[in-house]
Homo-oligomer: A and B are copies of this chain.
Amino acid sequence: MIGIFDSGIGGLTVVKAIRQRLSAYDIIYFGDTARGPYGNKSFAAILDNLRNGLEILRKCGAGIIVVACHAAAAAVYDPIGPRFDLPVLEVVSPAAKLALRQTTCGRLGIIVTRATIAGGLYAKKIGELDASARVYSLACPLLIPLAEEGWLNHPITCMIVKKYVHALKVRQIDTLILGCSYFPLFRRIIQTKIGRRVHLIDPSLAVADSLAQFLDENAAVNGRLTRNQSLRLMVSDFTDQIELAARMILKQKVRLEQCSG
């Protein structure tokens, strides 16, 4: 199966993208709702939680794992990735690559959480690919609870988005990465507030493409993955509100299993 890890249920945006891109494959999801969201957590805490989540997905039969949580991407890149016994992809590298393909002026904005900025993987990846690119990172922590509350089109959400993106607008960016698994849910509002000329990068689409390419190039991994279009959703803490939010993202009835490893 394709395993997908996230700090909560925001990573279901990545599930959606992967199901659209690779519809036949079985998917198993683990959202660490008992310890998430990770946006204000330290690297050490995120690393511990990530190790636990990857282990759960491996035990449940994942043959490859996609980490949907941007805050955990730096820890996937180093130290997890090279030492884990399954291939582990993260969302930051493909999003950074796609953003650099899209920009014409070389001025990129990234909206993220504090932990993602502290992890530094966006700055590192973009710097490696194009040392002349200018990167403006902005932590937007309030968007996570707004998503969890389902206030996707609320007037207050519009005001908060406007306040946040103003800081990037004055930087005259032409490309903006939605650097948290929840943020694609605000795509329409963000586009309105930042202006139509700014190209938005949805990392869930970028990582789905990257996964498809990886499977094309790695027949051994691809051959081990089952293809029955199934979707199994696990969380480390279950509440009705979490199930509601999951339903809102996937736009279908869902059943969440509780699993703490």
Q: Which listed residue, B42, B146, B238, B242, touches A239 by the CB 8 Å rule?
A: B42
Minimum Cβ distance to chain B for residue A236 (Å): 8
From B42, B44, B141, B146, A149 is in contact (CB under 8 Å) with B141
Which residues of A approach B to under 8 Å, CB–CB? 33-35, 40-42, 44-45, 114, 118, 141-142, 144-146, 148-149, 151, 156, 159-160, 163, 237-239, 241-242
- B35, A241: Cβ atoms under 8 Å? no
A114 touches B241 (CB 8 A): yes
Q: 9 shortest A-B CB distances, which residue pairs?
A: A45-B237, A145-B145, A42-B239, A34-B45, A42-B237, A35-B35, A41-B237, A142-B145, A156-B159
Bound-state Cα–Cα, A145 to B42, Å: 17
Residues of chain B within 8 A (CB-CB) of A40 are 148, 239, 241-242
Cα distance, A114 to B41, chains bound together (Å): 22
In the assembled complex, the CB of A205 is this many whole angstroms from the nearest CB of chain B, namely 27
Q: How far is the CA of A159 from the CA of B40 in the complex (A)?
A: 24
Residues of B within 8 A of A148 (CB): 40, 141
By a CB distance below 8 angstroms, the chain B residues around A34 are 35, 41, 45
Expressed in whole angstroms, the Cα–Cα distance for A151 and B140 within the complex equals 13
